[in-house]
Every structure is written in structure tokens, then in C-alpha cells.
Amino acid sequence: MSHQAFVRGVVGMPISPIIKPMPMTKPLTKFEKLKKGHAVLFPKFFTIECGEGWIELIDHLCEHFEHKLISKEANFIRFAQIKEKFGLLRVYFDLELPTPRKGIDPEKTFIQLHQTVSVIEEMSSIVCEDCGQMKHEGFNVEMRSISGWKMTRCDECYKKERQKRMGI
């Protein structure tokens, strides 16, 4: 009992326990952790609009982008949008390149960045957007379609998705 509560009790005031609201300590989602770890690459309010299964692909891009910033091959790189579109990962980013100088070739950096994004986007066609497992021998991941919605899923996650959306 705090001193104040005691005094109030003595003078006959009703004592209501002072309960401090617990701080909201909702655990960070995987994407929130990723954004925190690469804060320089994300606008303040940014939503990654795809399933968590693709987090490793996005993380790989973050590493590549940050490397370009650290090596001063780029002045500024920031994600504009990360989303699922037509069943695949799509990434858009803003970029500012330095002026060409010794050892710095902005044109090369531009091509490398866009190529890396293309490779990652293409890889999303063999990584389950839900569970994150990559296609390998004996484990199928492919583009599916449920009532016109395209999605990349492994067999198991596709079954679950179909159950959720269509009840079959």
C-alpha cells in the first residue's frame, strides 16, 4: 500500500487499489522485427503486404540494399512497396545514386539492385508464401489458383487455404 493510499484510507476515503495499466507488450511480428533490424530501408509507417513465408527473401534484399549503402554505392535506398501481386512477391523501391567517381559506377549499381530484386521476385514462385519452405525434391511448391486468386503455396498450405476459403 502506498503512503498516499494509507493516508486516504485513514481519512475515510474509499481505497481503490491503484492499478497501473500494463504496458502493451504485444510481441513483435516477424515483419516488425525485420523492419526494426533494417530501419534505414523502411518508411516510418510501412506495411509489408504479403505472407510471412517470404520473409527470408525480403531479408536477403535488405542485406543487399544495406551493403550498397554502407559501401556508398548508393546514397539512399528505401522500400516503397512490398506486396504479393498475382501470386508473386513484388518489390518497389526509391533510390538515389551518387555521381560517378573512382570505384563508383552508379549505372552498375542501378543494374545490380534491379537484378537482385528480379531474382528475389522470381524465387518467390518456388517458396511457399505461407510456411516459407522452398520447393525441393519430394516437396512441391507452385502457383495455385482458388476462384481466380493466384497464390504460391506448398501442397499442405494450399489444402489449408482451400479449406479456409471454400470449405473443401
Binding site for Zn ion (CB under 5 A): 128, 130-131, 154, 157
Residue with smaller CB distance to Zn ion, 61 or 128: 128
Q: How far is the CB of 133 from Zn ion (least distance, A)?
A: 5
Distance CA 89, CA 58 (A): 9
The residue behind cell 520447393 is 135
Choose between 113 and 154: whose C-beta lies nearer to Zn ion. Answer: 154
Q: How far is the CB of 21 from Zn ion (least distance, A)?
A: 39
Q: Cα angle vertex 118, ends 59, 105, to 5°? A: 90
- Residues 6 or more apart from 133 whose CB is under 8 A from it? 53, 127, 139, 141, 154
Decide whether 97 or 128 has the Cβ nearer to Zn ion.
128
Closest CB to Zn ion among residues 117, 154: 154
Least Cβ distance, residue 154 to Zn ion (angstroms): 3
Measured from the CB atom, is 105 or 142 closer to Zn ion?
Answer: 142
Query: Least distance (Å) from Zn ion to the CB of residue 153?
Result: 6
Smallest distance, Zn ion to C-beta of residue 144, A: 11
φ, ψ at 112 (rounded to 5°): -60, -45
Residues 6+ apart with CB under 8 A from 34: 48, 55, 58, 59, 62
Task: Answer for the pair 79, 50: CB distance below 8 angstroms, yes or no.
Answer: no
Helix or strand or coil: residue 166?
A: helix
